[in-house]
């Protein structure tokens, strides 16, 4: 019996898929199809797949050409499959020509001509809503949203607005955006989603205007130092039925969710200590301290909770600019220390000590692809990791896409009370006089 294998995502099943499966079967007696798993697709940056794995499998099965379906779960699985299933011929469309030549050591390698004029990408573009993103900024970079949003179907940065002509020119040297708006109102009007990326003092009013206009908003937190203003923004978003999402990419990344699961599910025992540090210096951003602080406070509040009994701090300021702060939170049975250096240099790291294990994330932990668990009674180190490229913005956009598809406005990754606690903490630091 001659066995043939082929692979694909088979999203929004179309004629091209049907044809390749039909022709693949003609190369043998038994056809195996590897359909890509969701985690594998996400890991390789394919975030725009519409149909669930179950639907895609069902569609492949319904062609009647397929004898067995397997799930492609990781990069490099194909060679193992060829050996395991004793494959004679590997078939794939000629969009992959040359890419799989190395497989000819294991079996016959056949590239088949693609059916012209159709693809899942094309169907997705024609079928689903398109969301135009507008960015309002005070810094000459886009935080990678232009590139990363394109990776999620239906999202694209189309509009920008910047008050400062020099910053705008610098931005335009690097990025190509369709519409450079003359005013913020014009940008809001032309966009479905507004990304607010500016000085903290301006964020609240930019966000408010966009929400009043009924637009979804992504913003770099903190939005404000005033609790009542943040509450007002939350209420406004609800009233207008739009999404108001913090740009904290970390909470959308697999490895962070694994970390959360481990710590919340008691997998490292009772937590005794949470230690987290971050530092960055950017001469052009005077209030960077507060942005950095949010990055440390979110994991702390998510992992340790909000019922700390005492909060004290040491703050070093130069005028209004916070150069360094060490914040100490005393919980009933644990302690958290957060260190943020704006000018002062601090080693970026995150360490959580539990009675049954210690978790460590080194270097830029907030965008880390892995963490280690050291068990107390052995020298054994387990590493949990994930694979992703870019800075993770695409995962945040994908979350937005899911929310829009489900008609939801709250993402449940960061809760309102957590955001309000952060504002109260930051406000205390802001009021410190040196």
User: Which residue ranges make up the site for ligand CTP (CB under 6 A)?
Assistant: 8-11, 16-17, 20, 92-93, 95, 114-115, 118-121
Determine the Cα–Cα distance for residues 211 and 204; give it in Å rounded to an integer: 10
Q: Which is nearer to ligand CTP, 14 or 360 (CB)?
A: 14
Residue 233 or 397 having the CB closest to ligand CTP: 397
Whole-number minimum distance, CB 91 to ligand CTP, in Å? 7
By C-beta, is 16 or 354 nearer to ligand CTP?
16
What pairing do the DSSP bridges indicate for beta strands 271-279 and 349-354? antiparallel
* Burial of 319 from C-beta contacts in 10 A (0-12 / 13-18 / 19+): exposed
Nearer to ligand CTP, 95 or 347 (CB): 95
The smaller minimum CB distance to ligand CTP, of residues 112 and 181, is found at 112
320: phi then psi, degrees, rounded to nearest 5 = -85, -15
Q: What is the DSSP letter of 282?
A: -
List b or e across 105-142, with b for residues whose CB sees 16 or more CB atoms inside 10 angstroms: eebeebbbebbeeebbeeebeeebeebbbbbbbbbbeb
Closer residue to ligand CTP in complex, CB, 110/272: 110
Q: How far apart are CA 335 and CA 326, in angstroms?
A: 13
Which residue has 């940065």 as its token pair? 157
Give CA–CA dist 357/335, Å, rounded: 16
Smallest gap from Cβ 9 to ligand CTP, in A, equals 4
Point out the residue whose Cβ comes nearest to ligand CTP.
Answer: 93
Q: Please, what is the minimum distance in Å from the beta carbon of residue 120 to ligand CTP?
A: 4
Helix (H) or strand (E) holding 313: strand 310-318
Nearer to ligand CTP, 119 or 224 (CB): 119
Helix residue ranges, H only, 241-335: 254-264, 288-304
DSSP structural state of residue 108: E
Distance between CA 326 and CA 315 in Å, rounded? Answer: 7
Number of C-alpha atoms within 13 angstroms, CB side, residue 324? 8
* Minimum separation from the CB atom of position 131 to ligand CTP (A): 19
DSSP element (H, E) containing 344: none
Residue placing its CB nearer to ligand CTP in the complex, 119 or 339: 119
The encoded tokens of residue 184 equal 């913020």
Shortest distance in whole angstroms from residue 20 CB to ligand CTP = 4
| CB of 46 or CB of 316, closer to ligand CTP | 46
- Helices 288-304, 254-264: crossing angle, 10 deg rounding: 40
Count of alpha carbons within 13 angstroms of residue 328, beta-carbon side: 6
Tell me the closest approach of the beta carbon of residue 33 to ligand CTP, in angstroms: 9
Least Å distance, CB 114 to ligand CTP, is 4
* Strand ranges in 98-190 using DSSP code E only, listed in sequence order: 108-112, 131-137, 155-161, 179-180
Cβ nearer to ligand CTP, comparing 6 with 296:
6
How far apart are CB 50 and ligand CTP at their closest, in Å?
9
Q: How many residues does the chain have?
A: 434
Least separation, in Å, of the C-beta of 28 and ligand CTP? 16
In angstroms, what is the minimal distance from the CB of 41 to ligand CTP?
A: 10
Number of Cβ within 10 Å of residue 366's Cβ equals: 22
The H or E element spanning position 430 is helix 416-431
């Amino acid at each position: 019996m001659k066995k043939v294998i082929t692979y694909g995502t088979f999203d929004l099943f179309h004629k091209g898929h049907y044809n390749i499966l039909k022709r693949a079967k003609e190369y043998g007696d038994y056809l195996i199809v590897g359909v890509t798993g969701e985690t594998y697709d996400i890991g390789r940056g394919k975030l725009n797949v519409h149909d669930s794995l179950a639907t895609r499998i069902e569609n492949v099965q319904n062609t009647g050409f397929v004898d067995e379906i397997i799930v492609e779960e990781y990069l490099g699985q194909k060679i193992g499959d060829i050996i395991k299933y004793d494959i004679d011929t590997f078939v794939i469309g000629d969009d992959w020509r040359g890419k799989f030549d190395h497989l000819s050591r294991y079996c016959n390698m056949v590239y088949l001509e693609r059916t012209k004029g159709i693809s899942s990408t094309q169907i997705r573009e024609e079928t689903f809503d398109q969301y135009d993103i507008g960015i309002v900024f005070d810094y000459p970079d886009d935080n990678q949203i232009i590139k990363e949003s394109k990776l999620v179907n239906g999202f694209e940065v189309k509009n920008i607005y910047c008050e400062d002509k020099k910053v705008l020119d610098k931005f335009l040297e690097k990025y190509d955006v369709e519409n450079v708006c003359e005013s913020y109102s014009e940008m809001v009007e032309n966009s479905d989603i507004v990304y607010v990326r500016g000085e903290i003092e301006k964020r609240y009013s930019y966000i408010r205007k966009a929400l009043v206009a009924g637009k979804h908003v992504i913003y770099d937190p903190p939005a404000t130092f005033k609790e009542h203003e943040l509450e007002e923004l939350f209420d406004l978003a609800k009233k207008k039925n739009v999404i108001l999402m913090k740009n904290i990419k970390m909470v959308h990344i697999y490895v962070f969710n694994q970390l959360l699961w481990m710590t919340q599910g008691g997998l490292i025992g009772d937590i005794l200590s949470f230690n987290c540090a971050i530092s960055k210096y950017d001469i052009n951003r005077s209030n960077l301290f507060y942005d950095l602080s949010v990055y440390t406070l979110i994991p702390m509040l998510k992992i340790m909770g909000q019922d700390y009994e005492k909060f004290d701090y040491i703050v070093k300021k130069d005028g209004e600019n916070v150069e360094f702060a060490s914040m100490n939170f005393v919980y009933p049975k644990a302690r958290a220390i957060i260190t943020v250096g704006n000018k002062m240099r601090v080693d970026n790291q995150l360490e959580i000590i539990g009675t049954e294990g210690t978790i460590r994330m080194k270097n830029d932990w907030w965008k880390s692809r892995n963490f280690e668990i050291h068990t107390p009674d052995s020298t054994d180190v387990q590493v949990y990791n994930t694979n992703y490229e870019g800075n993770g913005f695409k995962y945040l956009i994908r979350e937005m896409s899911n929310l829009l598809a489900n008609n939801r406005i709250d993402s449940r990754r960061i809760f309102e009370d957590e955001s309000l606690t952060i504002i109260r903490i930051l406000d205390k630091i802001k009021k410190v006089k040196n």
